[in-house]
A and B are shown apart, each in its own frame.
Chain A
Amino acid sequence: MKPGKQSAQSMLQLLSDIQSSDLNAYIYTDPNKTIAMLQESERYCQSNKPRALEGLPIAIKDLFCVKGTPTTAASKMLKDFIAPYESTVTQRLWDQGAIFTGKVNLDAFGMGSHNTYSIFGPTLNPISRDGKPTSAGGSSGGSAAAVAAGLAWAALGTDTGGSCRLPAAFTGIVGLKPTYGLCSRYGVIAHASSLDCPGVLANSVKDTARVLQVIAGYDERDAQTFDQPVPDFVAACTGELRNHKIAYCDMGTEITLPIPTHSVDIDAILEHAVECYMIISAAEACSNMSRYDGIRYGYRTESAYTNLKDYYCKTRSEGFGDETKRRILLGAYALSDGSKIFHRANQMRQWIADKMTKFFAEYDVLILPTATFSAPTLDSVKSMSCDEIYNSDKCTVTSSLIGGVAISIPIGIDDSGMPMGMQVVGPPFSEVKVLEVASALEQVIERNKKITRRDQ
């Protein structure tokens, strides 16, 4: 699809496909809203040049406020919440002619790596392992599955520690985490505020850049956004490899890239990134989740209670899922005893950032796998320990900790026929360089189409 007038017939077919899909990618649709937006787009096209995303159907992760629609964060805590206002990035999509297809599934509050911690149940990967229900990745699993299955042209996700990139790699599409502060978090339900980034999932690097072009830029309602001109990201997607110095770390996967690279060993930098990320994100999540007490925000217990403390306890225990509880407790521990553990993790984060700054003084970008394994079945996810699940993000958390740019692109399939993703990573504000390299890599990689679709 390209920006422009879209036929009503194709949109109706898309809505029908969404309704009949058994992937559990969509958790809310509003066909009347979708058709109304399509009609508005048609009217606009009659007298104007098509806008940047004219008529393109885009799915929205259910962490973004879309005015008048349920915004649940896939948690019982917000199951009845109707957004009273519009997030900045979704407003920018609609202003450029994009069509809302619905809200898509996620791990509750964006906490998870396999989309298994949702009150709506797990999203299924459109590409199955051995014909069994397979992880779509998380937390933006609904966004990835919707795009991979052709149920949206693109989707918005959020990326705190890899939540756009891991699902993209598992489903064989492109997932982008932009620089922290490039896209506004206004109207996005908070998980870990120093790490949260709105991100994009689409079928190609150029389509991803098209969406980024629209949503990027300063927003006075998010003090962490940067007031500077937005570069031309779409123009960067030429597919040509310029004279970049590219570092490559295969993380033991023994994958050979079809472009010239410098082999590097960054194990020492990545070694403690997961625990550093987990402690910082849990501490921030613990703080952000404190607002959900059933009085100021969210679900309120219907059980009898004896006093205020009992009321809080019942409300929060019933409203939060297990993973959210684990993160709250871990975060509270990290912040106890004078926040010594949190302080240590922040020192570690600074150490990683300093090392990566030196690294990027020598190399333009770093390429490394998005994950060292492909999508597991949902049964095998159930048997994973928390520690194993947290380690799913081993390759993605470093760019989150440094606030940098990272894009996962599909590089083919592994021995079991499952998609594999490779990340192009750069320092903050290196989107143009990262997109140039990703676009070139995308061009030279022959995507193996021999994949088993779940519905075949």
Chain B
Amino acid sequence: MNRVTKLCAIVGLSDNDAKIHAQIDKIVDVLIDKIYQADLDAEYPIWLGVKGPKPLRKDISKEGDPTLIAQVCKHSHENFVLAPKSFTAKENK
């Protein structure tokens, strides 16, 4: 099974359009090649979470919790508005 056929199966699209097959193969190759050509450290850190005019940024990969998901949840909880302001902490519980 080729690459585009596999992708079509994943996303629930018909696999019988030869034109799209050819285009996707080309687009994927061109874009992916270019993004890997960039002179960028493989460990370049991604900072998540921006709030307010002075961005509050944290490098989650360097925080204590060992699991990435736990770190992201903690970070989101601290930095994103998760509920309308009219909700009180009690109501949220």
Contacts and interface: CB of A to CB of B under 8 A. Distances in A.
Given A309-B12, A332-B10, A350 B23 contact: no
Contacts of A316: 11-13
B17 to A, nearest CB: 8
A333 interface: yes
A313 B31 contact: no
A48 to B, nearest CB: 29
A390 B26 CA distance: 13
Given A329-B24, A386-B26, A272 B13 contact: no
Contacts of B2: none
- Most B-side CB within 10 Å, residue of A226, A293, A347: A347
B71 to A, nearest CB: 15
Contacts of A290: 11
A317 B31 contact: no
A322 B18 CA distance: 12
Interface in B32-56: 32, 34-38, 40, 44-47, 50-53, 55
A345 B55 CA distance: 21
The A contact surface, by secondary structure, is helix
Interface residues of B, number: 41
A223 B82 contact: yes
Given A272-B34, A345-B35, A351-B44, A313 B13 contact: yes
Contacts of A276: 35
Contacts of B38: 271-272, 348, 351
B85 A220 contact: yes
A328 B24 CA distance: 10
B26 A329 contact: no
B51 A226 contact: yes
A229 to B, nearest CB: 10
Contacts of B80: 223
A319 to B, nearest CB: 10
B13 A223 contact: no
B24 A228 contact: no
A238 interface: no
B23 A328 contact: no
Contacts of A33: none
A299 interface: no
B32 to A, nearest CB: 6
Given A223-B81, A227-B85, 14 more contacts: A223-B80, A226-B51, A228-B52, A275-B30, A279-B31, A290-B11, A314-B14, A315-B12, A316-B13, A317-B17, A329-B7, A333-B28, A348-B38, A429-B53
23 contacts: A220-B85, A221-B84, A223-B81, A226-B51, A226-B52, A227-B81, A272-B38, A275-B34, A275-B35, A278-B31, A316-B12, A322-B17, A326-B20, A326-B27, A328-B11, A329-B8, A329-B13, A330-B24, A333-B24, A343-B46, A348-B35, A390-B27, A428-B55
Interface of A: 220-221, 223, 226-228, 271-272, 275-276, 278-279, 286, 290, 293, 309, 312-317, 320, 322, 325-326, 328-330, 332-333, 336, 341, 343-348, 350-351, 385-387, 390, 403, 428-429
